[in-house]
Amino acid sequence: MKLIIKNGTIVTSVNEYKADILVEDGIIKEIADRISCDADEVIDAQGKLVFPGGVDEHVHYGSFGALLFDTSDAAAVGGTTTIVDFAPQEEGVSLIDAIKRQEERARGQASVDYAFHSVIMDPKESVFEEIAKLPEVGVTAVKLFMAYKGTSFYSTDESILKAMMIAKEHGITSMVHAENADIITILQKKYKDAGHTEPVYHYYSRPPIAEEEATNRAIYLAKIAECPLYVAHVTVKGAMEAIRDAYEEGYPIYGETCTHYLTLTTDYLAKPDFEGAKWVCAPPLRPKEHNDALWEAVQKGWLKAVGSDHAAVAGGFETKKQGLGDFTKIPNGCPGVQDRLAMLWTQGVCKGRITKQKFVDLFSTTPAKVCGLYPKKGEIAVGSDADFVIYDTEYEGVISNKDSYHQTDYSPYEGWEMKGRPDKVILRGITIAEKGKFVGEKGKGEWQKCKPYALAYDNVPRQ
Ligand code: MN
Ligand code: MN
pLDDT of residue 230: 98
pLDDT tens per residue across span 332-347: 999 999 999 999 999 9
Question: Ligand 1 center to residue 265 CA distance, Å?
Answer: 18
Question: Ligand 1 center to residue 281 CA distance, Å?
Answer: 9
Question: Ligand 1 center to residue 147 CA distance, Å?
Answer: 9
pLDDT of residue 427: 98
Question: For residue 294, is pLDDT > 80?
Answer: yes
Backbone φ and ψ for 105, nearest 5 degrees, come out as -70, -30
Rounded to whole angstroms, the Cα distance separating 355 from 59 reads 25
Neighbouring CB atoms inside 10 A of 301's CB total 14
Question: Ligand 1 center to residue 260 CA distance, Å?
Answer: 14
For range 243-270, the mean pLDDT: 98
pLDDT tens per residue across span 69-125: 999 999 999 999 999 999 999 888 999 999 999 999 999 999 999 999 999 998 888
Rounded to whole angstroms, the Cα distance separating 343 from 413 reads 9
Rounded to whole angstroms, the Cα distance separating 427 from 312 reads 23
The overall pTM is greater than 0.85: yes
Rounded to whole angstroms, the Cα distance separating 274 from 262 reads 23
Question: Ligand 2 center to residue 85 CA distance, Å?
Answer: 9
Question: Ligand 1 center to residue 367 CA distance, Å?
Answer: 16
All structural domains of the chain, each given as residue ranges with its CATH number in brackets, are 53-377 (3.20.20.140)
For range 257-268, the mean pLDDT: 98
pLDDT, greater one: 150 or 244: 244
Cα→Cα distances 91→88, 151, 241, 279, Å: 10, 11, 35, 29
Question: Ligand 1 center to residue 121 CA distance, Å?
Answer: 12
Rounded to whole angstroms, the Cα distance separating 347 from 260 reads 11
Q: Which amino acid is at 218?
A: A
